Amino acid sequence: MRCRRRVLVGSLLFISVTSLFLQMSIRMGVFRSRDVKDDTELTELQALTGTVNGHFQLNGASGTMPGGNTVNSLFEALELPGIATYLPHLKNHPEYLQPMMRVSRNRSNVSLVIGVPTIKRPDASYLDETLKSLFVNLPAYDANKCLILVFIAEPWDIEYVKQITIDLELMFPNEIFSGLLEVIAPSPKFYPAMENLKLTFNDDSDRVKWRTKQNLDYAYLMMHSTKRGKYYIQLEDDIITKPDYFSFIMRAIASRSTEWIVLRFSALGFIGKLFRTSDLPLLVEFLLMFYADKPGDWLLDNVLTTKLCGKDMHLKECQQVVSKVGIDVKPPLFQHIGYHSSLKGKIQKLKEKTFKVKTADPKNKVFQGNHNPPASYLNTSIIHYEDYDLEQAYKGYKPFWGYTPVAGDIVDIVYSPPIKIYSYKLVSGSGEHPDDIFPESTTVLVEPGFKSGFQNGSQGDDNFYQVGTFDKNGIARNIIPPSMDKIKTFRIKVNETMKTWILLREILIGDSATPTS
């Protein structure tokens, strides 16, 4: 009788500790980034593991169990799945999960986390327009209930990550300071080797690699968002939204039962898919399990069918069951505006056919006021079209749209008294007018307000120094060397006669030194 009691007590203790170990392993299996400064949760879990092992031995749990095995040998024989199961190179390297760059005010406990992954496109960039749409259509009284998380998915291009970070700090300083906007970039060591991937669904190697990395991007972004709020919505970096989208989403949630798993605010790919953050670990694990096998939006469908549909269930019956937890919300809340895909060479023409939004601008471009320093005088020799003048563009309300420039035309921004300028960004062209851009021969010049000791620029006869040029995409951006004195005039100079009109849609002048990390 005494022997049976020992066996029963030992068995119960083994089951109890094994259950606790399972819970810890599940918690450790899905990394939830809390702050780039430390990995507190991971450290606590590792300490807890040691505590459990010590407690286990202190209570005599290393004795013999039924069948002749020791508890320790059974405990050590357990190998439970975690993130390193799917990404083995992460084993013993929790530091690979930390972002290599993070700009954050550590906002948390929000109602809605908005994930915006962004990637470098060789022919265009839509991130600025996407963020402006999200900010201008979010009333101030709702802004403190949101976190917009931009994920720069270019870990192997550190200079690009730095440049995008600088641009966002220059364009949206108030949103970053308030905590509404956060920017992160993953470590390149988070990603496994992606050579020799198995080709599936008739996709070529470039497309398979692109979609594989995209799944890993999504998983990382979701892991980083899990602890930050109650709901999470996935967007892309080439969309616009409708006014008051936050309240629309909250009303849609309130009007549904508690049984839903995903609410779809767009029919396009992964755009506009809303989840409870408590459901993200399941989706993350599914993405990691099959990241090299299928596109992410297909895997989302597979999660639902795997969870809800029996193997003998007919397709129509399965679809009916899934439709009760994967719900399409009408009308669509987001519109895809990108033309050039993040997959090199791919043209993306998908649109939400029923998306409608009123806008005063004929180019469907969302504008809001810039944070440019006050200018004393604005002047250009380029004749503008209708009311698309230089003043509207400098203030950020409309683009400057002018008739065909000729060699020698200028755009001048004058400051009196002169001011210290640290950086600038100029963007020409738009999605609907991609050819209305400044050519690469167009130069950016500055005129110091006082005699300058600046030696690194080329000085013209009129005391102007060249500080940059436009690139092939019609964009000019640079950091003004610290040795440059206060600036009286900021100038764009056209050096060859153009064949098209010019649309200057972004003028950003940084008159304060902004940290980049």
pLDDT (tens digit, 9 = 90+) per residue, 44-68?
444 434 433 444 343 444 455 555 5
pLDDT digits (tens, 9 = 90+) for 343-399: 665 556 667 667 766 543 434 444 555 678 999 999 999 999 888 999 989 988 888
365 residue type, one letter: K
Residues with Cβ within 8 Å of residue 74, at least 6 apart in sequence: 14, 65
List the CATH code of the domain at 377-510.
Answer: 2.60.120.260
Q: Compute the average pLDDT of residues 190-211.
A: 84
pLDDT digits (tens, 9 = 90+) for 326-348: 899 988 899 888 765 556 655 56
pTM of the model: 0.63
pLDDT score at 270: 84
Partnered with residue 233 across adjacent β-strands are 114, 274
3-17, 236-250, 263-277: segment of lowest average pLDDT: 3-17
- C-alpha angle 375-381-385 in degrees, rounded to nearest 5: 90
pLDDT score at 376: 93
Higher pLDDT, 292 or 450: 292
- Each domain of the chain, given as residue ranges in start order, spans 2-80, 97-293+325-336, 377-510
- Alpha carbon distance 270, 282 (integer Å): 16
- Alpha carbon distance 30, 278 (integer Å): 12
pLDDT score at 205: 80
- Considering the chain, what percentage of its residues have pLDDT values greater than 70? 75
- Alpha carbon distance 362, 430 (integer Å): 12
Higher pLDDT, 15 or 77: 77
Residues with Cβ within 8 Å of residue 145, at least 6 apart in sequence: 110, 111, 112, 246
Q: At residue 227, does pLDDT exceed 90?
A: yes
83-97, 211-225, 298-312, 358-372: segment of lowest average pLDDT: 358-372
171-175, 281-285, 379-383, 447-451: segment of lowest average pLDDT: 447-451
Is residue 493 classed as helix, strand or coil in its secondary structure? strand
Q: Compute the average pLDDT of residues 490-509.
A: 93
Is residue 40 classed as helix, strand or coil in its secondary structure? helix
Protein fold of 97-293+325-336: Spore Coat Polysaccharide Biosynthesis Protein SpsA; Chain A (3.90.550)
pLDDT score at 109: 96
Higher pLDDT, 416 or 78: 416
Q: Compute the average pLDDT of residues 19-44.
A: 42
Question: Which among 47-61, 119-133, 369-383, 435-449 has the top mean pLDDT?
Answer: 435-449
pLDDT score at 342: 59
- C-alpha angle 166-172-178 in degrees, rounded to nearest 5: 115
Q: Compute the average pLDDT of residues 216-235.
A: 95
C-alpha closest to that of 251 among 240, 239, 263, 259: 263
Cα 184 to chain centroid distance, Å, stands at 8
- Considering the chain, what percentage of its residues have pLDDT values greater than 90? 42
Distances (CA, A) of 92 to 15, 77, 83, 84, 276: 27, 18, 11, 9, 30
- For the packed helices 280-289 and 296-308, what is the interaxial angle rounded to 10 degrees? 110
Is residue 244 classed as helix, strand or coil in its secondary structure? coil
Q: At residue 274, does pLDDT exceed 80?
A: yes
* DSSP H or E segment with residue 282: helix 280-289
- Alpha carbon distance 417, 426 (integer Å): 23
Q: Compute the average pLDDT of residues 231-242.
A: 92
Q: How many CA atoms lie within 13 A of 220 on its CB side?
A: 30
Residue showing tokens 């190998």: 79
9-18, 103-112, 144-153, 264-273: segment of lowest average pLDDT: 9-18
Q: Find out whether 372 and 395 touch, Cβ atoms under 8 Å.
A: yes
- Alpha carbon distance 426, 430 (integer Å): 12
Higher pLDDT, 296 or 232: 232
C-alpha closest to that of 180 among 142, 124, 216: 142
Residue 331, phi then psi, degrees to nearest 5: -75, 165
Q: Label residues 167-191 b or e (16+ Cβ within 10 Å = b).
A: bbbbbbeebbeebbbbbbbbbeebb
**Mean pLDDT score of the chain, rounded to an integer?**
80
C-alpha closest to that of 354 among 470, 266, 262: 266
Q: How many CA atoms lie within 13 A of 162 on its CB side?
A: 9
pLDDT digits (tens, 9 = 90+) for 62-102: 455 555 555 565 556 677 778 888 999 999 999 999 999 99
- For residue 437, give both structure tokens: 């851009």
Q: How many CA atoms lie within 13 A of 280 on its CB side?
A: 29
Q: Kindly provide the residue ranges of all beta strands, DSSP E only, lying in 119-255, ordered along the sequence.
A: 146-152, 181-185, 229-234, 239-241
Q: Find out whether 275 and 262 touch, Cβ atoms under 8 Å.
A: yes
pLDDT score at 47: 43
Q: Compute the average pLDDT of residues 220-246.
A: 93
